Amino acid sequence: MSPRRFLFTVSLLAFLLSACAALPQDNTPPPANTVAVPSPTPTLIPTESPTATAAPLPLVPNFERIAIVVLENKEFGTVVQSPQMPYFNELAKSYTLLTEYYAVTHPSLPNYLALIGGDTFGITFNCESCFIDAQTLPDQIEASGRTWKTYQEDMPSPCYPRPYAGNYAIKHNPFLYFKPIRLDTARCERSVVPFTQLSADLAAGALPNFIFITPNLCNDAHDCDINIADDWLKTLMGQLQPALDADGKPYLIIITWDEGQGNRSCCGLPQEAGGRIATILISPQAQNGFQDDTPYTHYSALKTIEQAWGLSFLGRAADESNALIIAPWK
């Protein structure tokens, strides 16, 4: 190569190297007149937080104590709005009145058996020695760790075995018809007691969880006028309700009648049954001044007690036709 061509070649290579060095590198900022395009930002999709929901209310309140008072042989229309029962009607107006509640049959005894045993056990008359070997509400109550007593007016002594004593009648004391109670002396004497024991238990603050009160044959309106039953009920409630209120725990008092004077029925009962009877629910957990026209029976009352305490349904209380009492509760 001639010296001239050599010099030209060297000069060209030097130019090319300097031109490459002048080119911008990847890490140099863009020219001032260049608009930077931001990289896309990932879009966050919000996730829904679980919404806190209140626990559903139980169908029936879990009462600390439940008391039943059973009066005798009067149809709904005989007592509701009767001027002879002003106190009963005051309660019916102030608390919850069940306007379509029915006894299950005639006469008295099978209705009492139904209230604590869930069946009439084929008994169709006021027998005095037709004892039954079956489970009852008291058995369930004891198994749940709760206590019970029936207070029987004019019964001379605990578990008095004879059919009558003055104005006391065994046909209104269903507990003594069930062998598991009747034949257990200690259990029977502890829980099947004269009505006079109620005052002592009230004074001592020793009421059981389940209270079943039977007036005598006069005070329950069986043998005497309904105004006498009304006066007796007012005296009882003047002692019982303040004691339950003072305790401050949920309670329920059921005031009902064993049967009516007619044969009206509902709820899968025979076409002619025990009649329509007035039943009142008194409880801080029940609506005041409320009337519930749902058809109910004595089996419904048993079912509702068992539901309140988480017990299984006995006998006919398990039938769907015997509705659970749920409308009155707040």
The β-bridge partners of 192 are: 150
Token pair for residue 327?
A: 């409308």
Kindly list the distances between the CA atom of residue 57 and the CA atoms of 61, 96, 134, 230, 301, in Å, as whole numbers in the listed order. 8, 19, 33, 35, 20
Active site residue 223: yes
Catalytic residue among 139, 201, 223, 293: 223
CA distance 132 to 30: 102
**318 contacts: CB under 8 Å, gap ≥ 6:** 118, 303, 312
* Closest to 240 in 3D by CA, of 280, 284, 203, 285: 203
Contact 280, 97 (CB under 8 A): yes
CB atoms within 10 A of CB 241: 15
Token pair for residue 97?
A: 């009145």
Contact 230, 236 (CB under 8 A): no
Catalytic (active-site) positions: 223
